[in-house]
Structure 1
């Protein structure tokens, strides 16, 4: 019991710290996600007129390039979090994300500056990706380390709920402007507003993050800096643990970026929805996801992380194809919403326990760096290009159901990794 309570956080400080991290996450993931929801417009604004599929592929390729920078951001900013503190790293990421997002909203179109337009777009996405690479691991470590020992799943779930909240905000803002502006206005200038709005919450996030304390676990590790570095379990280096975290993350990231970022594009093209209807259906699915994630996190504190994680994996293996089948061919708004709610519940079963489970793989002294590396590596390879791969698969096979194969393979891969992990719900952080 003594080990369990070692470095136990103050409850009031913990709530304030988690609130600060949540506000910052919502802002940053709103900024990062707006691109995916406005992809069909961006394709026409930043790439040469011609084949619609080619322009969309180019747009999603630029989307994916933002994820290439995530492992580098994970290493640089994650290391900063382990050496200079979680808080300093989080303040840096919020500034970088804001600059990249507002930059996208200010770039002239291809018609105005030619090839320079897509090049600047890619530069802004790379800056966003670099920031996101450090943000995810840093904020996850920050929240989980502030959590009471018996409630890490519940507290950690707010990290992922805030990510989903940022996606929800991005989807809702894009849906609102698509519904209130004419098609011509939206495609001419309205698409810029969601990106420019990304700067509004920056002062709030920065103020909160500058007025919170470092985590008890980090302060304790810093005080013990003269002692030998915390070792990984016997026979496992930090790199091996990072690779485990990458395998753990495969389904998590693929499901997010196919089901939440790519889905509005898919339902417009293959389910017969208008742009605004596709965005509103996505928004409703995200509402369910945001509500369900903390419930799943709390449940994992009672029954363990692995039952929920494996339930998600198995459901994606067996339900993905039938659910996509329901969407294809003018499915209608109600059917699309129902399918997206089911997918949201499936993702929540992973996202609830996920932040605590992946944090519990690593020792405190290297958690921010190596968790960021493992997670960002999987996101860069499998998640960031998921919309591109889904679009390419449909073009190559002629079947709108072909993205399901990618999701199923991702689910199988993560199942194999998670099945071999030890249960950590009721053990102390190392």
Structure 2
């Protein structure tokens, strides 16, 4: 078994995390800039209808995430975590570049939204693989007793990807008019995402493979089957339940809330962007704190707090 120095572990964590960050940046810029490009693909004349159509495609991308997790997870079990993470960021980069250059409805008609759907499906496949594999890589690369802390950086980079997307949006809102953003400005962040993904691809090529994968490769050549997974029904249902609840809560506050504040409350887009930015910054800063805390007191107390707090406080927050 190869023994990694702390410096090498940190380097691998950073490279893995940066890839996670750029993947989530590429994913979130769609949601952040939908208010500007929705009319280019769904010229309904009603802002509500346009936003709902754009949101529907965002949701469609989620349909591929479970398939991406399964397919890319099996690939990671056979070819390694590094190979799977490199493949996922390559797919995401290609998708962002295609969205950056895709013609609008006025140019190619119904093929414009159809192409957008296809691209988002492929990106959903990529992100589904990235989410699980990056968590696996971070936890396997972490030193014993610090897995909660290191694994928390998955969400740090996840949120930082969204914060960078919002930062790009704030900058573009400051230098471009609303008409310019709707005409061509919305394409700029997709170009940035594609370039960033290429840089991260280069970094990921130099990551080390985890010792757990190397050891398993030698002792258990056949891995990652549904038959094996079915041996642990309670654990599977627990993970599904936790992921289900956490995902609904997370996207309610980070994706739907933006459209709720603009379309239902009538707040200006620039103000909504700043509110989202501040909330996400606080959320991101708390991740390592709670990750470190989980290493000290265990995972269960924090999971109980999330479940009870989310159940009791969500409705009052919206009503307030």
Shorter-chain TM-score above 0.5: yes
Residue 253 of structure 2 corresponds to residue 259 of structure 1: yes
Distance 2:47 2:225 in 1: 52
Which of 99, 102, 106 is equivalent to 2:97?
102
Q: Over aligned residues, Cα RMSD in angstroms?
A: 2.3
C-alpha contact 2:90 2:198 (8 A) present in aligned 1: no
Aligned to 1:420: none
CA gap 1:322/1:7 in 2 versus in 1, 3 angstroms: farther
- Give a deviation string over 1:33-87, Cα, whole Å, max 9, x none: 0111122223211013233322222111111111111122112111010111000
Measure how far apart 1:204 and its partner are: 2.5
Distance 1:230 1:268 in 2: 44
CA gap 1:48/1:271 in 2 versus in 1, 3 angstroms: closer
Measure how far apart 1:240 and its partner are: 5.7
Measure how far apart 1:223 and its partner are: 2.2
Residue 248 of structure 2 corresponds to residue 237 of structure 1: no
- Give a deviation string over 1:252-306, Cα, whole Å, max 9, x none: 1112211112222111123332111111111111111111111110011001111
Name which of structure 1's ranges 50-59 and 191-200 shifts more when overlaid on structure 2.
Answer: 50-59
Aligned to 1:15: 10
Q: Matches of residues 11-410 of structure 1 in structure 2 within 5 Å? A: 11-225=6-220, 237=231, 241-326=235-320
Gaps spanning 5+ residues in structure 1: where? Answer: 1-5, 327-430
SS at match of 1:192: helix
Gaps spanning 5+ residues in structure 2: where? Answer: none
Name which of structure 1's ranges 78-87 and 97-106 shifts more when overlaid on structure 2.
Answer: 97-106
TM-score (norm 2): 0.93
C-alpha contact 1:105 1:193 (8 A) present in aligned 2: yes
Distance 1:66 1:259 in 2: 18
SS at match of 1:33: helix
C-alpha contact 2:24 2:162 (8 A) present in aligned 1: yes
Name which of structure 1's ranges 195-204 and 214-223 shifts more when overlaid on structure 2.
Answer: 195-204
Distance 2:161 2:180 in 1: 25
